Amino acid sequence: MFHLFKKVHILKISCVTEYLFLAIMLNSIPWLTAIILLPLVSAFAIPFIPDKEGKTIRWYALSVSLITFGISIWGFWQNFDLQTSQFQMRETYAWLPQLGLNWSVAVDGLSMPLIVLSGLVTTLSLLAAWKVNRKPRLFYFLMLVLYSAQIGVFAAQDLLMFFLMWELELVPVYILISIWGGKKRLYAATKFILYTAIASVFILVSGLAMAFYGDNLTFDMVELGMKNYPMALELLAYTGFVIAFGVKLPIFPLHTWLPDAHSEASAPVSMILAGVLLKMGGYGLIRMNIEMLPNAHIKFAPVLVTLGVVNIVYGAFTAFGQQNLKRRLAYSSISHMGFVLIGIASFTELGVNGAVLQMLSHGLIAACLFFLTGAAYDRTHTLMMDELGGLAKSTPKIFALFTAGSMASLALPGMSGFISELSVFLGVTTSDAYSDAFKIVVVFLSAVGLILTPIYLLSMLREVFYGESKLSLDPNFLMSDAKPREVFITACLLLPIIGIGLYPKLATSTYDVKAVDVAMKSRAALPVVAETRSTQQQAHLPSVWTPAMVAPQLPNSSN
Amino acid sequence: MDFSSNIATQLNAGAILPEGIVVVTILLVLICDLIVGKSSARWLPYVAIAGLLASVAALWLKWDATESLAFLQGFNGDDLSIAFRGIVALSATVTILMSVRYVEQSGTSLAEFIAILLAATLGGMFLSGANDLVMIFVALETLSISSYLLTGYTKRDPRSNEAALKYLLIGAASSAIFLYGVSLLYGLSGGQTNLDAIATALANGDGGESLGLAIALVFAIAGISFKISAVPFHQWTPDVYEGSPTPVVAFLSVGSKAAGFALAIRLLVTAFGAVSEEWHFIFTALAILSMILGNVVALAQTSMKRMLAYSSIGQAGFVMIGFIAGTDAGYSSMIFYLLIYLFMNLGAFTCVILFSLQTGTDQISDYSGLYQKDPLLTLALSICLLSLGGIPPFAGFFGKIYLFWSGWQAGLYGLVLLGLVTSVVSIYYYIRVVKMMVVKEPQEMSETVENYPEVRWSLPGMRPLQVGIVVSLVATTLAGILSNPLFTFANNSVINSPVLQSAKLTQPIAKAGISETSDRPIVQ
């Protein structure tokens, strides 16, 4: 009897495994839906987990996050084809057919690495948030919701769903900043939500305008990209998207929320903010602005390059003036995001490639630096650099890791930042789209920013870690050095940085095909402009455009 | 024999079966209260709820009835009216759930309260289907007079008295204005009271564009705007909301408003079809003013009820976008939004009632630190408010998206933009309350919250309150994500209603709006 039962049981199990195996073979597992919904659904179990000291919940949240990360890696490993620039692993379910809203997710070379990045950074930030004393349940709940929203933004193929995910991430971040933040956290959180909410209005408006144009009502991003919009509409939609994503990225005049939010948020939240959320802006710019609106992109590209240069130089100079460690890092983020803008607007494979790599590499570097700042703050309880000093003696490991992170941030050769910034430079200098004078000015000014970066980062290191300790602490107080957990987190971020720096193909191979495709598409629109321009007076051309872009007049064409 | 069957089909009394059930329930409540006495208060609310739910079920059975016109065309029980009658009845149901404890604590009789509330519901339900000027006015007055009584129900509270007096004076004036407008309409159409007959008479006669019709239109709109509290006819709202018993406010903000919108659709689309350009223009102005004033003034409020009052003005502005759109999608987005608004707004009011029952205050600053003391209340109120603000994945997000979607489809770009911007403004004041409750540290807790007694659900009247909170919480959370059936319902109720379908044929504006977006010439 028992034997029989066992047999049946084994049969059952083998049936299940066989089914699973079949499902994997047939590629019918909804991987993306699974990784979007898993954190969200498991977040709702948090209120019901019995927990006295907050330990069960953090293990729960961490394991959910790890499992999601594992599933996404496994799924991409199994199903992602590196050789195609098309969308893959597409899953579409009708959600509200009356509105044209579909639950439609897919990945391509652009979104896949970003999903992996957000998985990595979120998992590590959950590990970084090991001691949440205040309202731990709420904290881990919000972190898991935020995780879902991030993946959702990168995977969404439906513009309405993209907007929904984009908005979904607002409230968790707001509450995360306003409860577990620094002194001015309420101000920072309110500023964050107002900026982002107002900006996201533009996504919806541009999206509606594009969706309703033409005969077919659709929110599918691929189909939206295939519509032919009139120039005026395209320019308006482009402006809307630039404003929305420019707040997130951030682009110069819209950046003011960032230093406040980043410096007031607690270290794990800052890691996600700087590591992933800024990349949503860059991702959106490539996905919507370049891929869907290539004709407007040609008109706007010089503006983007100019804003990128302003970002680099302004961010670098402002970072100098900051005495608060996190604010300095925040302005350095602004400066680094300028390279993304320039790369996007370069019209070359190399430039777009560099922009994507810059997003990935900055995601890792910023997360690493913000985490280490948090670790330093846990020990000193201050972020003001003039109150710090001589930390290298008491905490040599943190010092070493911080130095490594800063080196990566200042684009030391052999680190990922170097590769990406170099590619952007090469991309913009080899671009045919701009006149030589314009390129020279751009390269020169960004080089100034590049020189400033080591200066402010090294002077930060000097002030914080060298010299005598200025902390008015008890002399007998022994500051503990980095714990294995902290070293582990930093290592997880630094290893890919160095890995990519030494062998860039590690990262670039994932999106190379896609980046080439994007650059080709954006260049494909160029001749159209050139033709229309050639009919105009040559003298009226803006000086940023290279003469090569204007189709030469054939000698007998005037007759 | 032949005559009587002819009369029976003309009357088609089955169409008002849901209202009949409500009437029976009113009688039942009153008689039981008389016979059994005060001890009946324990089970009377459930009788009323059962009656209302039975009425909703009866509405369900009437769905897609072949013969919708009843009482010599005085009442139209089409699917559009069913949707609105359902909203009114459901809002009354939830209102009763939240009012049991509140009314008992105020020391007044519960049975009378329920009877008057049911009378107001009856008025609202008849108003949603009324197809005849006399019928409209009688239903409107049933709703209004019951509402006056309800606002002054806690008669020992001077503020409630003040609210009732204000509401009565302004309401009576607006009723008179409405009546005057309607009487002009009666005259202009050559003595017709039926809406369809008026429309044909106006279309055939030469009075189509006369000054009289314009005056009638303005006066009718003034009366309607009073009901839906559109700016500038909103002045009564904050004061009445602040002073009257909170369950009454909840009913006024949902049930009474829904009935007002139903009246607006039926009267303006049918009878004023000839001047649809004019009333679209007037409603655009009302929507703009309501969205701006409602949402901006709400920023400055310190009392929760006043804030919800201004927010309901703003929300009415959003709903008007769907009305102005005038398309199938526009009307169904109105119905969809009102359905969702029912749950989220009543959920918010239920939470406010629970808080004020526990503490006796409704100042926003008194909510600070509530998360520590009452997580369920905090969760429910936060989700309802965030949903009102249009944050995904809650129901309000989908409702607003649908409204804006249909507005954009009809070419109302400016209105949609304004709606989006003002809903960002609204996020600010909704999230302020959430911030108060969730973000504040234990040491920043307000004095009221510090003395917050533990909620005892076993007290009489608390169970229904709890049910109300949980139901609206679940509905607000899930109705958005799983909103497909609701969408289908809202769409069908519009498509199956001949009133709106025939109106669209005679009304070129809405069609022009669509074609403008769909085949606009390509500008090079």
Residues in chain A closer than 8 A to B371 (CB atoms): 135, 138
Dihedral sign for Cα atoms in the order A320, A322, A326, A331: negative
Cβ-contact B80, B138 below 8 angstroms: no
End-to-end CA distance of chain A: 100
Interface of B with A (CB under 8 A): 329, 332, 371, 375, 386, 391-393, 397-398, 401-402, 404-405, 408-409, 416-417, 420-421, 424, 427-428, 431, 434-435, 438-439, 441, 483-484, 487-488, 491, 517-520, 522-524
B514 pairs with which residues across the strands? none
Give the number of beta-carbon pairs within 8 Å between A and B.
90
Q: How confident is the model at residue B179 (pLDDT cuts 50, 70, 90)?
A: very high
- Residue B455 pLDDT > 60: yes
Ramachandran sector of residue B64 (left: φ over 0; alpha: ψ -120 to 50; beta: rest): left
Q: How confident is the model at residue B8 (pLDDT cuts 50, 70, 90)?
A: confident
Weakest mean pLDDT among A13-27, A107-121, B4-18, B392-406: A13-27
Q: What is the pLDDT of residue A539?
A: 43
Q: What is the pLDDT of residue B518?
A: 40
Distance, CA of B214 to CA of A544 (rounded, Å): 59
What integer is the mean pLDDT of B218-227? 93
CB atoms within 10 A of CB A262: 27
Q: What is the pLDDT of residue B504?
A: 62
Q: Tell me the pLDDT tens digit for each residue of A329-358.
A: 999 999 999 999 999 998 888 999 999 999
Nearest to residue A417, comparing CAs of A426, A430, A427, A407?
A: A407
Between these two residues, A17 and A386, which has the higher pLDDT value? Answer: A386
- Residue B381 pLDDT > 50: yes
Residues in chain A closer than 8 A to B417 (CB atoms): 201, 205
A155, part of any domain: no
Q: Decide if A171 and B391 are in contact by the 8 Å CB cutoff.
A: yes
Distance, CA of B41 to CA of A54 (rounded, Å): 46
Complete DSSP assignment for B156-224: T-HHHHHHHHHHHHHHHHHHHHHHHHHHHHHHHTTS--BHHHHHHHHHHSSGGG-HHHHHHHHHHHHHH
| Both structure tokens of B58 | 């009866």
Nearest to residue B330, comparing CAs of B486, B201, B491, B472?
A: B491
Cβ-contact A310, A338 below 8 angstroms: yes
What integer is the mean pLDDT of B489-513? 69
- Residue A253 pLDDT > 80: yes
Between these two residues, A453 and A533, which has the higher pLDDT value? Answer: A453
Complete DSSP assignment for A266-317: -HHHHHHIIIIIHHHHHHHIIIIIIHH-HHHHHHHHHHHHHHHHHHHHHHHH
Cβ-contact B108, B153 below 8 angstroms: yes
Chain centroid to Cα B392, Å, comes to 23
Cβ-contact B122, B23 below 8 angstroms: yes
Distance, CA of A169 to CA of A128 (rounded, Å): 20
DSSP 8-state symbol, B245: -
Residues in chain B closer than 8 A to A179 (CB atoms): 438-439
Q: How confident is the model at residue A520 (pLDDT cuts 50, 70, 90)?
A: confident
Q: How confident is the model at residue A1 (pLDDT cuts 50, 70, 90)?
A: very low
Between these two residues, B333 and A481, which has the higher pLDDT value? Answer: B333
End-to-end CA distance of chain B: 72
What integer is the mean pLDDT of B280-299? 94
What integer is the mean pLDDT of A28-40? 88
- Burial class of residue B524 (count of CB atoms within 10 Å of its CB; 0-12, 13-18, 19+): exposed
A158, part of any domain: no
Residues in chain A closer than 8 A to B404 (CB atoms): 204, 208
Q: What is the pLDDT of residue B447?
A: 84
Cβ-contact B270, B199 below 8 angstroms: yes
A201, part of any domain: no
Amino acid occupying residue A256: T
Cis amide prior to A250 (ω within 30 degrees): yes
Amino acid occupying residue A218: T
- Residue A361 pLDDT > 90: yes
Q: What is the pLDDT of residue B419?
A: 94
Q: What is the pLDDT of residue B47?
A: 93
Amino acid occupying residue A33: T
- Residue A433 pLDDT > 50: yes
Interface of A with B (CB under 8 A): 47, 95-99, 101, 134-135, 138, 160, 164-165, 167-168, 170-171, 174-175, 178-179, 186, 190, 193-194, 197-198, 201, 204-205, 208-209, 212-215, 228, 230-233
Q: How confident is the model at residue A489 (pLDDT cuts 50, 70, 90)?
A: very high
Give kind and range of the element (H or E) at residue A89: strand A88-96
CA trace torsion B267, B136, B114, B40 (10° rounding): -140
Nearest to residue A35, comparing CAs of A82, A70, A77, A79?
A: A70
SS3 per-residue string spanning A340-390: HHHHHCCCCHHHHHHHHHHHHHHHHHHHHHHHHHHHHHHHHCCCEHHHCCC
Q: Decide if B431 and A193 are in contact by the 8 Å CB cutoff.
A: yes
Place of tokens 């991309």: A427
Query: How many folded domains does chain A comprise?
Result: 1
pLDDT more than 90, % of chain B: 58
Q: For residue A27, how many C-alpha atoms fall within 13 Å in the half-sphere facing its CB?
A: 10
Q: How confident is the model at residue B70 (pLDDT cuts 50, 70, 90)?
A: confident
- Burial class of residue A79 (count of CB atoms within 10 Å of its CB; 0-12, 13-18, 19+): middle
- Residue B55 pLDDT > 80: yes
- Burial class of residue B261 (count of CB atoms within 10 Å of its CB; 0-12, 13-18, 19+): buried
CB atoms within 10 A of CB B59: 23
Q: Decide if B405 and A232 are in contact by the 8 Å CB cutoff.
A: no
3-state secondary structure of B494: helix
A451, part of any domain: yes
A434 pairs with which residues across the strands? A545
Q: How confident is the model at residue B433 (pLDDT cuts 50, 70, 90)?
A: very high
Q: Decide if A99 and B402 are in contact by the 8 Å CB cutoff.
A: yes
Report the residue of A212, A236, A529 to disrupt the B interface, i.e. the one with the largest count of B CBs within 10 Å.
Answer: A212
3-state secondary structure of A434: strand
Distance, CA of A321 to CA of B513 (rounded, Å): 54
Residues in chain A closer than 8 A to B395 (CB atoms): none
Q: What mean pLDDT value characterizes chain B?
A: 88
- Residue B520 pLDDT > 50: no
Q: What is the domain range of residue A344? A: 303-471+481-549
A178: nearest CB among B435, B517, B518? B435
A558, part of any domain: no
Q: How confident is the model at residue A376 (pLDDT cuts 50, 70, 90)?
A: confident
Nearest to residue A289, comparing CAs of A299, A274, A279, A277?
A: A299
> Residue A415: CB partners within 8 Å, gap ≥ 6?
A361, A407, A408, A497, A498, A500, A501
Q: What is the pLDDT of residue A19?
A: 55
B487: nearest CB among A98, A175, A233? A98
3-state secondary structure of A545: strand
Distance, CA of A533 to CA of A252 (rounded, Å): 30
Distance, CA of A447 to CA of A441 (rounded, Å): 10
A232, part of any domain: no
Q: How confident is the model at residue A554 (pLDDT cuts 50, 70, 90)?
A: low
- Residue B16 pLDDT > 60: yes
Chain B: closest CA distance from residue A525 (Å): 15
Q: What is the pLDDT of residue A407?
A: 92
Residues in chain A closer than 8 A to B523 (CB atoms): 230-233
Report the residue of B376, B424, B429 to disrupt the A interface, i.e. the one with the largest count of A CBs within 10 Å.
Answer: B424
What integer is the mean pLDDT of A447-464? 89
Nearest to residue B389, comparing CAs of B338, B339, B346, B341?
A: B341
Q: Tell me the pLDDT tens digit for each residue of A282-293.
A: 999 999 998 889
Q: What mean pLDDT value characterizes chain A?
A: 85
Q: What is the pLDDT of residue B35?
A: 92
- Residue A373 pLDDT > 80: yes
Chain A: closest CA distance from residue B267 (Å): 27
> Residue A57: CB partners within 8 Å, gap ≥ 6?
A46, A49, A51, A136, A137, A140
Q: Tell me the pLDDT tens digit for each residue of B149-170.
A: 999 998 888 889 999 999 999 9
Q: Which of A20-29, A44-53, B286-295, B448-457 has the highest mean pLDDT?
A: B286-295
Q: What is the pLDDT of residue A3?
A: 55
H helices present in B252-326, as ranges: 257-266, 276-298, 304-325
- Integer-rounded Cα Rg, in Å, for chain B is 22
Q: Which residue of A has its CA nearest to B519?
A: A214
Q: Decide if B439 and A179 are in contact by the 8 Å CB cutoff.
A: yes
Distance, CA of A84 to CA of A109 (rounded, Å): 8
- Residue A535 pLDDT > 60: no
- Residue A14 pLDDT > 80: no
Weakest mean pLDDT among A25-34, A124-133, A389-398, B6-15: A25-34
- Residue B341 pLDDT > 90: yes
What integer is the mean pLDDT of A227-239? 91
Weakest mean pLDDT among A20-34, A539-553, B146-160, B509-523: B509-523
- Residue A512 pLDDT > 90: no
- Integer-rounded Cα Rg, in Å, for chain A is 25
DSSP 8-state symbol, A156: B
A170, part of any domain: no
A175: nearest CB among B438, B483, B524? B438
A523, part of any domain: yes
pLDDT more than 70, % of chain B: 95
Largest CA distance in chain B: 81
Between these two residues, A35 and A476, which has the higher pLDDT value? Answer: A35
Q: Decide if B487 and A171 are in contact by the 8 Å CB cutoff.
A: no
